[in-house]
Structure 1
Amino acid sequence: MLNFIPKEITSILKILTPLEVYVAGGPIRDALLGRNFKDIDLTVPQGAKEIAFDVAQKYGDAFIPLDEEEGVYRVAIKGFFLDFSSFRKGTKTIEKDLLLRDFTINAMAVPLRDFLETSPANWPIIDPAEGQKDLSRRVVRALGRANFCDDPLRMLRGYRLAAELGFELEAETRGLVRELHPTLADVSPERVSTELLALFSHQAGAIVSLMAEDEILFTIFPELLAAKGVAQPSFHHLDVFGHLLLTLKSADAVIKEPERFFGPQALAERVFEGILADQKKQAAVRLAALFHDIGKPHTFAIRHRITFYEHDRVGEEIFWQIGRRLRFARKFIKDVASLIKHHMRPFHLLREYRAGRLSKRAMRRLLKDVPDYRALFMVAMADSLASAGPDKEEGLEDLLASLFWEIYAFEQEIFAKQEQERLVTGRDLIEIFGLEPGPLFKELLEAVEEARAEGQIKTRDEALSFLTHLIKERYGLHGT
Structure 2
Amino acid sequence: MNGLTNITLDFLPDRPDGVYLVGGTVRDLLAGRSPTDIDLVVSGDITGVAGHIAARTGGRVIDLGKNGFAVLRVASPDTIIDITPLAHPSIEADLQQRDFTINAMAYDLKARRLVDCTGGQADMQNQTVRMVSPTAFEKDPARLVRAYRMAATLHFSIDAGTQDAIGRHRHLVTGVAGERVWAELVKIFGTADSGPVVMRMAASGLLTAIFPELQAAVGCTQNRHHQFDVFDHSLRVYTRLEALLADFDSHFPDLTATEDAAKLHGHAAMLKYSALLHDAGKPATRSVDSRGRVGFPGHAAKSADITAGVSRRLRLSNRQRHVSDAIIRHHIRPLFLYLASENGTLGRRGMIRFFNRCGDLALPIIVHAMADIMAKSEVLQARDNGFIFFCDRLVAAYVDTRRRKAAVPPLISGRDLIAVLGLSPSPRFKSILREVDERRLSGELTTRDQALEWVGTHLLPHDVSRRAED
**TM-score under structure 2 normalisation?**
0.88
Instruction: Tell me, yes or no, if the aligned pair for 2:61 and 2:72 is still in contact at 8 Å.
Output: no
From 133, 145, 151, the equivalent of 2:134 is 145
Aligned partner (choices 288, 302, 305) of residue 288 of structure 2: 302
Structure 2 residue identity aligned to 1:375: P
One-letter code aligned to 2:19: V
Among 104, 109, 113, the alignment partner of 1:107 is 104
Task: Give deviations 1:310-361, integer Å, cap 9, x for gaps.
Answer: 1110111011000001111121111111111111111112223445654332
Cα distance change on mapping 1:53 and 1:461 into 2, 3 Å: farther
Contact 1:385 1:397 in 2 (8 A): no
SS of the equivalent of 1:365 reads helix
Check if 1:252 corresponds to 2:242.
yes
Deviates more, 1:49-58 or 1:307-316: 49-58
- The CA distance in 1 between the partners of 2:448 and 2:441, in whole Å, is 14
Tell me the residue number matched to 1:135: 124
Preserved contact between residue 350 and residue 403 of structure 1 (Cα < 8 Å)? no
Alignment match, 1:452? 440
Q: Structure 2 residue aligned with 1:462, among 442, 445, 450?
A: 450
- Per-residue CA deviation, residues 407-433 of structure 1 (Å, 9 max, x unaligned), is 333233323335xx1222222222333
User: Aligned partners of 1:275, 1:413: CA distance in 2, in Å?
Assistant: 17
1:30 is aligned to 28
Q: Aligned letter for 2:438? A: E
Return the alpha-carbon distance in structure 2 between the equivalents of residues 399 and 66 of structure 1: 56
Question: How far is the alpha carbon of 1:245 from its aligned partner?
Answer: 1.0
SS of match in other structure, 1:82: strand
**Is the Cα contact below 8 Å between 2:208 and 2:215 reproduced in 1?**
yes
Deviation of residue 256 (structure 1)?
A: 2.1
Aligned to 2:429, what secondary structure does the other structure show? helix
- The one of 225, 229, 234 equivalent to 2:215 is 225
Alignment partner, residue 324 of structure 1: 312
Equivalent AA in structure 1 for residue 24 of structure 2: G
The residue number in structure 2 matching 1:126 is 115
Helix, strand or coil: the match of 1:145? Answer: coil
1:81 is matched with 80
Is the counterpart of residue 289 in structure 1 residue 275 in structure 2? Answer: yes
Question: Could you report, residue by residue, the CA deviation over 1:179-224 in whole angstroms, capped at 9, with x for unpaired residues?
Answer: 2222222222221111111121123322222122211222211001
Alpha carbons of structure 1 residues 39 and 467: separation in structure 2 relative to 1, 3 Å = same
Alpha-carbon deviation of 1:259?
2.8
Listed one character per residue, the Cα deviations across residues 45-79 of structure 1 (whole Å, up to 9, x for unaligned) are 24446755775698337836276554344444447
Contact 1:24 1:106 in 2 (8 A): yes
The residue type paired with residue 302 of structure 2 is V
Relative to structure 1, is the Cα distance of residues 219 and 68 closer, same or farther in structure 2, using a 3 angstrom cutoff? same
Q: What is the CA–CA distance in structure 1 between the aligned matches of 2:125 and 2:438, rounded to whole Å?
A: 60
For 2:210, give the aligned amino acid: I
| CA distance, structure 2, for counterparts of residue 434 and residue 65 of structure 1 | 61
Q: 5 Å matches for 1:196-207?
A: 196-202=185-191, 203-207=193-197
Q: For 1:201 and 1:109, how far apart are their aligned partners in 2?
A: 29
The change in CA–CA distance for 1:473 and 1:27 in structure 2 (over 3 A counts) is same
**Residues 53 and 334 (structure 1), Cα distance of their counterparts in 2 relative to 1, 3 Å cut:** farther
Q: For 1:430-441, list aligned pairs within 5 A.
A: 430-441=418-429
Which amino acid in the other structure matches residue 382 of structure 1? A
Q: Give per-residue Cα distances to partners, 1:113-134, cap 9 Å, x unaligned.
A: 79xxxxxxxx732211111111
In the alignment, is the contact (CA less than 8 A) between 2:363 and 2:395 conserved in 1? no
The residue identity in structure 1 corresponding to 2:328 is: I
Q: 1:173 to 1:472 in 2, by over 3 A?
A: closer
Match of residue 163, structure 1, among 152, 170, 176: 152
2:177 aligned partner, one-letter code = S
- Specify the alignment match of 2:177 in structure 1: 188
CA distance in structure 2 between the partners assigned to 1:433 and 1:2 by the alignment = 74
Q: Equivalents in 1 of 2:264, 2:72: separation in Å?
A: 32
- Residue in structure 1 matched with residue 331 of structure 2 by the alignment: 343
Give 1:331's aligned amino acid.
Answer: R
Give the aligned CA root-mean-square deviation in angstroms: 2.9
- Structure 1 gaps of 5+ residues are 115-122
Measure, in 2, the Cα distance between the counterparts of 1:428 and 1:474: 19
Q: Report matched runs for 1:293-442 at 5 Å.
A: 293-303=279-289, 304=291, 305-354=293-342, 358-370=346-358, 371-388=360-377, 393=383, 395-396=385-386, 398-418=388-408, 421-442=409-430
Q: Percent identity?
A: 31
Q: What's the secondary structure of 2:107's corresponding residue?
A: strand
Which residue identity is paired with 1:193? W
Report the Cα distance in structure 1 between the residues aligned to 2:67 and 2:423, rounded to whole angstroms: 58
For the 8 Å contact 1:49–1:71, the answer to whether it is kept is: no
Instruction: Report the 3-state secondary structure (helix = DSSP H, G, I; strand = E; otherwise coil) of the residue aligned with 2:462.
Output: helix
1:214 to 196, 204, 226: 204
Q: Where do 5+ consecutive residues of structure 2 fail to align?
A: 466-470
SS state at 1:105 partner:
helix
**Distance across 2 between alignment mates of 1:17 and 1:468:** 84
Contact map agreement 2:307 2:325 (CA 8 A) in 1: yes
Count, aligned residues: 455
1:97 counterpart = 2:94: yes
- SS of aligned partner of 1:458: coil
| 1:141–1:431 CA distance, 2 compared to 1 (3 A) | same
Structure 1 residues 383 and 324, CA gap change in structure 2 (3 angstroms): same
What is the Cα deviation at residue 299 of structure 1? Answer: 0.6
Q: How far is the alpha carbon of 1:85 from its aligned partner?
A: 2.0
Offset at residue 151 of structure 1 (A): 0.9
TM-score scaled to structure 1, two decimals?
Answer: 0.86
Specify whether residues 74 and 402 from structure 1 end up closer, same or farther in structure 2 by C-alpha distance, changes over 3 A only: same
| C-alpha distance 86-381 of structure 1, shift in aligned 2 (>3 A) | farther
Instruction: Answer with 237-246 or 451-460: which moved more.
Output: 451-460
In 2, the alpha carbon distance for the partners of 1:62 and 1:375 equals 43
- Distance in 2 (CA, whole Å) between partners of 1:396 and 1:64 is 60
Which residue identity does 2:274 align to in structure 1?
A: A
Asked whether the 8 Å contact 1:236–1:392 carries over to 2, the reply is no
Partner of 2:125, secondary structure, is helix
